[in-house]
Amino acid sequence: MRFTGFAAGVMLLLAGASCRREERRFSEPAARLARPVHAAQQPSGAPVAAFVDNAWSVSEGQRLYGWFNCAGCHSLAGGGGMGPPLRDAEWLYGGTPEAIHRSIVEGRPNGMPAFGTRVPDYQVWQLVAYVLSFSGRLRLDVAPGRPESIALGEPASLTDRKNPRPPAVHP
Protein backbone atom coordinates (compact mmCIF):
# COMPACT_ATOMS: atom_id res chain seq x y z
CA MET A 1 0.00 0.00 0.00
CA ARG A 2 2.76 2.38 0.96
CA PHE A 3 4.65 1.35 -2.16
CA THR A 4 1.59 2.05 -4.35
CA GLY A 5 1.34 5.55 -2.91
CA PHE A 6 5.05 6.12 -3.47
CA ALA A 7 4.81 4.86 -7.06
CA ALA A 8 1.80 7.09 -7.73
CA GLY A 9 3.76 10.08 -6.39
CA VAL A 10 6.72 9.29 -8.63
CA MET A 11 4.40 8.88 -11.64
CA LEU A 12 2.81 12.26 -10.93
CA LEU A 13 6.23 13.89 -10.72
CA LEU A 14 7.25 12.28 -14.02
CA ALA A 15 3.97 13.40 -15.60
CA GLY A 16 4.72 16.95 -14.45
CA ALA A 17 8.17 16.77 -16.02
CA SER A 18 6.73 15.53 -19.30
CA CYS A 19 4.34 18.48 -19.38
CA ARG A 20 7.30 20.85 -19.45
CA ARG A 21 8.75 18.82 -22.30
CA GLU A 22 6.18 20.24 -24.68
CA GLU A 23 5.20 23.42 -22.94
CA ARG A 24 3.95 25.96 -25.48
CA ARG A 25 5.03 29.55 -25.10
CA PHE A 26 3.00 31.86 -27.29
CA SER A 27 4.43 35.06 -25.91
CA GLU A 28 8.18 35.29 -25.66
CA PRO A 29 10.05 37.86 -23.59
CA ALA A 30 10.67 41.12 -25.46
CA ALA A 31 14.33 40.32 -26.17
CA ARG A 32 13.37 37.11 -28.01
CA LEU A 33 10.83 38.95 -30.19
CA ALA A 34 13.30 41.49 -31.46
CA ARG A 35 15.95 41.03 -34.08
CA PRO A 36 18.43 38.47 -32.83
CA VAL A 37 21.68 39.79 -31.47
CA HIS A 38 25.15 38.43 -31.97
CA ALA A 39 25.40 35.00 -30.37
CA ALA A 40 28.51 36.03 -28.45
CA GLN A 41 26.54 38.81 -26.73
CA GLN A 42 23.79 36.41 -25.66
CA PRO A 43 23.67 35.38 -22.03
CA SER A 44 24.72 31.81 -22.68
CA GLY A 45 22.99 28.66 -21.56
CA ALA A 46 19.49 29.76 -20.64
CA PRO A 47 17.90 30.35 -24.07
CA VAL A 48 19.51 27.25 -25.51
CA ALA A 49 17.98 24.92 -22.90
CA ALA A 50 14.54 26.57 -23.13
CA PHE A 51 14.34 25.82 -26.84
CA VAL A 52 16.48 22.76 -27.32
CA ASP A 53 14.85 20.77 -24.49
CA ASN A 54 11.34 21.54 -25.66
CA ALA A 55 9.57 19.25 -28.13
CA TRP A 56 7.16 21.98 -29.23
CA SER A 57 10.06 24.29 -30.14
CA VAL A 58 11.52 21.50 -32.24
CA SER A 59 8.25 20.98 -34.11
CA GLU A 60 7.88 24.75 -34.64
CA GLY A 61 11.45 24.72 -35.99
CA GLN A 62 10.45 21.92 -38.35
CA ARG A 63 7.53 24.00 -39.65
CA LEU A 64 9.74 27.07 -40.14
CA TYR A 65 12.43 24.95 -41.85
CA GLY A 66 9.83 24.24 -44.53
CA TRP A 67 8.27 27.72 -44.60
CA PHE A 68 11.59 29.53 -44.95
CA ASN A 69 12.73 27.06 -47.59
CA CYS A 70 15.84 25.90 -45.73
CA ALA A 71 15.23 22.63 -47.57
CA GLY A 72 15.92 24.44 -50.85
CA CYS A 73 19.66 24.17 -50.13
CA HIS A 74 20.03 21.80 -47.17
CA SER A 75 17.33 19.29 -48.34
CA LEU A 76 14.32 18.14 -46.39
CA ALA A 77 15.99 16.01 -43.75
CA GLY A 78 19.12 18.15 -43.66
CA GLY A 79 20.95 15.83 -46.02
CA GLY A 80 22.46 18.73 -47.93
CA GLY A 81 22.43 19.59 -51.60
CA MET A 82 23.38 22.99 -52.89
CA GLY A 83 24.25 23.77 -49.27
CA PRO A 84 26.19 21.62 -46.81
CA PRO A 85 24.48 18.71 -45.03
CA LEU A 86 23.33 19.28 -41.46
CA ARG A 87 23.21 15.71 -40.25
CA ASP A 88 26.82 14.64 -40.01
CA ALA A 89 29.57 15.44 -37.56
CA GLU A 90 31.36 17.85 -39.87
CA TRP A 91 30.56 21.52 -39.29
CA LEU A 92 32.20 24.24 -41.37
CA TYR A 93 31.40 26.98 -38.85
CA GLY A 94 30.90 25.07 -35.64
CA GLY A 95 28.10 22.77 -34.57
CA THR A 96 27.27 24.18 -31.13
CA PRO A 97 23.77 25.67 -30.75
CA GLU A 98 25.34 29.14 -30.45
CA ALA A 99 27.36 28.68 -33.65
CA ILE A 100 24.30 27.45 -35.60
CA HIS A 101 22.35 30.44 -34.25
CA ARG A 102 25.12 32.71 -35.49
CA SER A 103 25.18 31.06 -38.93
CA ILE A 104 21.45 31.69 -39.35
CA VAL A 105 21.59 35.26 -38.04
CA GLU A 106 24.73 36.47 -39.81
CA GLY A 107 24.89 34.18 -42.80
CA ARG A 108 28.05 32.46 -44.04
CA PRO A 109 30.20 32.79 -47.15
CA ASN A 110 29.22 31.00 -50.38
CA GLY A 111 25.50 31.31 -50.20
CA MET A 112 24.07 31.19 -46.69
CA PRO A 113 22.00 34.39 -46.38
CA ALA A 114 21.78 36.39 -43.16
CA PHE A 115 18.31 36.08 -41.63
CA GLY A 116 18.95 38.34 -38.66
CA THR A 117 16.79 41.21 -39.91
CA ARG A 118 14.00 38.94 -41.08
CA VAL A 119 13.39 36.35 -38.35
CA PRO A 120 12.78 37.12 -34.68
CA ASP A 121 15.23 35.66 -32.21
CA TYR A 122 12.89 33.02 -30.81
CA GLN A 123 12.24 31.57 -34.26
CA VAL A 124 15.99 31.35 -34.89
CA TRP A 125 16.33 29.31 -31.69
CA GLN A 126 13.45 27.08 -32.78
CA LEU A 127 15.28 26.46 -36.04
CA VAL A 128 18.47 25.70 -34.12
CA ALA A 129 16.59 23.13 -32.03
CA TYR A 130 15.26 21.44 -35.16
CA VAL A 131 18.65 21.49 -36.91
CA LEU A 132 20.18 19.77 -33.86
CA SER A 133 17.68 16.94 -34.29
CA PHE A 134 19.28 16.00 -37.63
CA SER A 135 22.49 14.91 -35.95
CA GLY A 136 20.72 13.21 -33.07
CA ARG A 137 21.80 15.69 -30.45
CA LEU A 138 18.45 16.34 -28.83
CA ARG A 139 17.33 14.66 -25.63
CA LEU A 140 15.67 11.35 -26.50
CA ASP A 141 12.31 12.41 -25.08
CA VAL A 142 12.40 15.66 -27.06
CA ALA A 143 13.53 14.38 -30.48
CA PRO A 144 10.71 13.77 -32.96
CA GLY A 145 9.72 10.10 -32.92
CA ARG A 146 8.64 10.00 -36.52
CA PRO A 147 8.30 12.51 -39.33
CA GLU A 148 4.76 13.63 -40.14
CA SER A 149 5.32 13.32 -43.85
CA ILE A 150 5.03 10.17 -45.90
CA ALA A 151 8.54 8.79 -46.35
CA LEU A 152 10.11 5.79 -47.95
CA GLY A 153 12.39 3.50 -46.01
CA GLU A 154 12.60 2.37 -42.46
CA PRO A 155 10.34 4.18 -39.97
CA ALA A 156 12.24 6.64 -37.82
CA SER A 157 10.83 4.92 -34.73
CA LEU A 158 12.77 1.77 -35.63
CA THR A 159 16.12 3.38 -36.30
CA ASP A 160 18.80 3.35 -33.66
CA ARG A 161 18.13 6.54 -31.79
CA LYS A 162 21.06 6.14 -29.42
CA ASN A 163 23.44 6.29 -32.34
CA PRO A 164 21.76 8.00 -35.26
CA ARG A 165 24.79 9.90 -36.47
CA PRO A 166 26.02 8.55 -39.78
CA PRO A 167 29.75 7.79 -39.86
CA ALA A 168 31.76 10.89 -40.63
CA VAL A 169 33.29 10.86 -44.08
CA HIS A 170 36.89 12.03 -44.29
CA PRO A 171 38.05 12.91 -47.77
Partner 1 sequence: MRRHAAARFAVLATGAGACGACDYRRGALDPASPDAMLIQILWWVFFWTAAFVFTGVLVALAVALYRGRGRATAQGSSPDVHPDAALERRTERAVLAATALSVVILVSLLLASVFGGRTLFRSPHAPLHAKLVAHQWWWEIQYHGKTASDLVTTANELHLPAGVPVDVELASADVIHSLWIPNLHGKRDLIPGHLSHLVLRPARPGSYEGRCAEFCGLQHAKMDLRVIVEPPAQFSAWLTAARRPAPPPATASAQRGAEIFARGPCGMCHGVVGSKASASAGPDLTHFASRAWLGAGALPNSALNLRAWLEDPQAVKPGVQMPPTRLPAGELDDLLAYLGTLR
SS3 category, 108? strand
Amino acid 156 reads A
* 114 lies in the binding site for partner 1 (CB under 8 A): no
Burial code (b: 16+ CB inside 10 Å, e: under 16) for 44-77 equals eeebbebbbbbbbbbbbbbebbeeeebeeebbeb
Q: How far is the CB of 67 from partner 1 (least distance, A)?
A: 4
**Cα diameter, the chain:** 66
Q: How far is the CB of 62 from partner 1 (least distance, A)?
A: 12
Q: How far is the CB of 98 from partner 1 (least distance, A)?
A: 21
* 123 lies in the binding site for partner 1 (CB under 8 A): yes
Q: How far is the CB of 7 from partner 1 (least distance, A)?
A: 34
Kind plus residue range of the DSSP H or E element containing 11: helix 2-21
Q: Which of 2, 4, 16, 27 binds partner 1 (CB under 8 A)?
A: 27
SS3 category, 130? helix
What is the contact mask toward partner 1 in residues 37 to 76, using x (rule: CB under 8 A)? --------------------------x--xxx--------
Amino acid 97 reads P
Q: Where along the sequence are the contacts to partner 1 (CB under 8 A)?
A: 24, 26-27, 30, 33-35, 63, 66-68, 115, 117-120, 122-123, 150
